[in-house]
Amino acid sequence: MKVLVGVKRVLDPQVKARVKADKSGIDLTNAKMTMNPFCENAVEEAIRLREAGTIEEVVVLSVGAAKSEETLRNALALGADRAILVLTEDVLEPLAIAKIFKAIVAQESPDLVLVGKQAIDDECNQTGQMVSALLGWPQATFASKLEIVDGTAQVTREVDSGLETVNVNMPAVITADLRLNEPRYASLPNVMKAKRKPLEKIDIADLGLDTANRMTTIEVMEPPARASGVMVENVAELVEKLRNEAKVI
């Protein structure tokens, strides 16, 4: 069995995002980039499945500029077997990414597609669902537990009312939540080995897909600054302010 894992390069969550001067988007010049946290969970789960003998090969896929190779090498250092990078300088919408996944699935014939439930840069939470729709495969989203037995994936997923367990026939698309696992760190020897692992590069034009964006960003703005707090001398003063100024009691 083979699993195809989606990996996205995003701004490091510990770095404060800066809006471009023309308010057209986020300024990523010289910014520290990293693997999307939800993608880390997807990679970790795929590696665990292979270590358990359930999966034989883990292939990671990313779509983006040449610098995305760094993110894929990180996934290879964590334990993935090989990587595919679809090269494009454009920032693509989830539908375009899903079309690319469908094309790569046709080439690779995986038994399972694992992606993060969303990316922290756009928070769309759409790619996994769109991949499932385009492929005609069953899906299980927001997975916090995954078990594969006899060609069936049993997924515990987080819903508004608690936890829900579903069984889906494979091949299937599953999106990973943060509570699915605790991602490992890449050791130095594995980082060195990752440099020799195969990484295939495909120009997006060679796929012959319509990846034109359907949406236009009008303006990106920083959130309003939070008002500074007020120090109080005692509990009585705090209660008075909550009653008379905040009107919460």
CA separation for the pair 222, 108 (Å, rounded): 41
The whole-angstrom separation of Cα 117 and Cα 8 is 12
Domain spans of the chain? 2-244
Could you report the per-residue pLDDT of 181-197, keeping only the tens digit for each? Answer: 999 999 999 999 999 99
| CATH no. for 2-244 | 3.40.50.620
**Would you give the end-to-end CA distance of the chain in angstroms?**
60
pTM here is: 0.86
pLDDT digits (tens, 9 = 90+) for 54-107: 999 999 999 999 999 999 999 999 999 999 999 999 889 999 999 999 999 999
